[in-house]
Amino acid sequence: MRLPQTILQALAIGLISCVAMQEPAWADDSVSAPILIGLNADMSASSAIGGEAIRRGAIIAIDEINRAGGVLGRPFTLTVRDHRGNPDRGIDNINDLASNEDLVAVIGGVHTPVAMAELETVHEHGIVYLGPWAAGALVVDHSYEPNFVFRVSVRDAYAGEFLIDAALERGYRHPAFLLWQTTWGRSNEVAMRTALESRGKQPAAIEWFNTGAKSVTKQLEAIKRAGADVVMLIAEPNGAATAVRDMAVLAPEERLAIIADWGLTAGEFHRDVRDDLSAVDLKFLQTFTFFDPPFPDRANRVLAAYCNHFGDCDGPVSVRAPTGFAHAYDLVYLLARAIEAAGTVERSQVRQALERLKRHAGLVRLYQPPFTPTDHDALAPDDYRLAAYDENGVIVPLDF
């Protein structure tokens, strides 16, 4: 894929400026105690690509902030824990991270079930929890007060309506749901059903599959019998790969288009279905792309920093799971702004400061404000768009 000349020029300028940046004041031995940010995500199992994208977004933001002098004269440091998608391990990791008095916040990972399981522990310790991916509504809208969870990510209630609208706008009239049997799947079922009912419709069928399912052929057969003309898929990478493979083996006239949430992008989905994907019409939700960012100058600078830091980079095509990267990048900056506003790293005061931020020019959007005391979701439906994989496995917005 040939990159636009403006991006290539910005990359060259950005790479030079990154190299030329001065080291911060603590580059000598008189280092101030760092402010710790935890990352608790799947770093080695089925959604590790999402976890790594989140890590890289946090690293680039931290590097920029530290080069500019840090926060309250102290550098940020990222400490990483791998929960492998396991809720119990996620809770253990939160307890471990919280024991460090220099830790002010934890960045979460891909999985809504893990985030939900961690909520009690997060609030027992009073740790600011920054959500760059997990989209379940109850991750933010829970019963704990005060609320320590702040999210820059998709919200299922908004995503469900967006996905249903995307299907109807493309001429489909009888959507069926194929859902992962988890809290995330159930949250999406409610959101999409509500969106359909508000338009005087019902789902043609609702079918579920469990973690580790080797086939969803029976579910697809039931969906076909019900007269569906499109499948609304909510699945993690492995489940989505199973659905696409089972759809691809059907006769061409029997295949249905698939419109999916974004969870499939967190792992090796494309690698696993490379030979099948050309037979299936698959589109999925995204919030950010370096191919067509809302603020090109800002995005080009960050992309140059990404290539400079991680190497082996060919521009936007090299950034895997770009939404996770961008959400984490913005969250670190919002945290830094809140700490500066609070004048302290005391967790409860930082939490309050996050609710009072007025404006921040981020990578994903202009936040004004990002959060309020009653709304801890920073993104809105107008941040959503549909994308697809190209022949090389690169996520490309459909209107690019």
What is the token pair recorded at 226? 């019900």
Least confident of 8-12, 58-62, 323-327: 8-12
Q: Is the domain of 328 the same as that of 281?
A: no
5, burial (CB in 10 Å: exposed 0-12, middle 13-18, buried 19+): exposed
Domain count, the chain: 2
> pLDDT value at position 400?
55
Mean pLDDT of 111-131: 98
Rounded distance, CA 84 to CA 8, Å? 37
Residue 213 has, within 13 A of its CA and on its CB side, a CA count of 25
DSSP 240-304: HHHHHHHHHTS-GGG--EEEE-GGGGGTTHHHHHTTTGGGS-EEEEES--SSS-SSHHHHHHHHH
Rounded distance, CA 250 to CA 240, Å? 16
Mean pLDDT of 289-316: 95
- Domain presence at residue 49: yes
CA distances to 161, 163, 256, 371 from 192, in Å? 6, 8, 18, 25
> pLDDT value at position 23?
43
What is the per-residue pLDDT across 72-112, written as a single tens digit (0 to 9) for each?
A: 999 999 999 999 999 999 999 999 999 999 999 999 999 99
Mean pLDDT of 152-170: 97
- Domain presence at residue 386: no
What is the token pair recorded at 218? 């029976």
Q: Give the end of a domain, one of 252, 267, 286.
A: 286
Is the pLDDT confidence value at 371 over 90?
Answer: yes
- Domain presence at residue 56: yes
- Domain presence at residue 369: yes
Q: Is the domain of 123 the same as that of 192?
A: no
What is the per-residue pLDDT across 249-267, written as a single tens digit (0 to 9) for each?
A: 999 999 999 999 999 999 9
Give me the domain span that covers residue 258: 157-286
- Domain presence at residue 190: yes
Rounded distance, CA 204 to CA 207, Å? 10
Do 340 and 73 touch, CB atoms closer than 8 A? no
Mean pLDDT of 38-51: 98
> pLDDT value at position 31?
56
CATH of the domain at 100: 3.40.50.2300
Q: Is the domain of 225 the same as that of 295?
A: no
DSSP 135-197: --HHHHS-S-SS--EEE-S--HHHHHHHHHHHHHHTT---EEEEEESSHHHHHHHHHHHHHHH
Q: Is the domain of 98 the same as that of 180?
A: no
Residue 40 gets which letter from DSSP? Answer: E
Q: Is the domain of 20 the same as that of 121?
A: yes
Q: Is the domain of 19 the same as that of 94?
A: yes
Is the pLDDT confidence value at 1 over 90?
Answer: no
What is the per-residue pLDDT across 202-214, written as a single tens digit (0 to 9) for each?
A: 999 999 999 999 9
Cβ-Cβ contacts under 8 Å for 257 (sequence gap 6 or more): 170, 172, 229, 230, 231, 280, 281, 282, 283
Cβ-Cβ contacts under 8 Å for 366 (sequence gap 6 or more): 295, 359, 360
Q: Is the domain of 250 the same as that of 323?
A: no
Handedness of CA 15, 21, 27, 32 (dihedral sign): negative
What is the per-residue pLDDT across 26-35, written as a single tens digit (0 to 9) for each?
A: 444 445 899 9
Looking up tokens 């990791």 gives 93
Q: Is the domain of 282 the same as that of 341?
A: no
